[in-house]
Structure 1
Amino acid sequence: MAIAVGAGWLYSVWVTLTGGGEVFHEAATVLASFVLLGHWFEMRARCGANEAIRTLLELAPPAAVVIRGGETVEIPTSEVQTGDLLAADILG
């Protein structure tokens, strides 16, 4: 991308200095502007997504109630393993 914009701009400068042909200053500028604008939109979306994930992680409870060996045990959520049977309080 940078090579294409740079080549167009350098060609335009050369043509301007030698006095012949068409110049592409505006094309190089518009192309670079669109790329930078797209990058800015991407960064805004990425920051918004990161903030949403951070908010969701804050909603996770610190502990979970697991049924192991017929007994309910409260453990940190980081210790919950695949296959654990979780107890849910549906009445609130």
Structure 2
Amino acid sequence: MILELDLPPDLERQAHDIPDIQQRLMSFVRHQVALESWRSHHGSDRARRLVDQAMADGDALQNQGIDREAAFALLEEAHQRISIQMMA
């Protein structure tokens, strides 16, 4: 496979000066592939639904004008509830 990167010209010139740039990029891509594989196998659908709900709740609170301190208190409470549910 050939991947193409659109780099700004100055960055491309500097990258060409790195003797092992191809090996470094290959190592980076390998790590990213492994990370994505790990991510896709960890975290249940239930956990994803809980996170999605928490995000929606956060948006609703923001739209209601909840201040930062109150939002953090609510977030801590939600985090504790989610953690308990994840352990169940």
Between structure 1 and structure 2, the one with the greater Rg is 1
Say whether the fold is shared (TM-score over 0.5): no
- The higher-RCO structure (CA 8 Å, 6+ apart) is 2
**TM class by smaller structure:** 0.3 to 0.5
From the two aligned structures, give the one with the greater helix fraction: 2
From the two aligned structures, give the one with the greater strand fraction: 1
Length-normalised TM-score, structure 2: 0.38
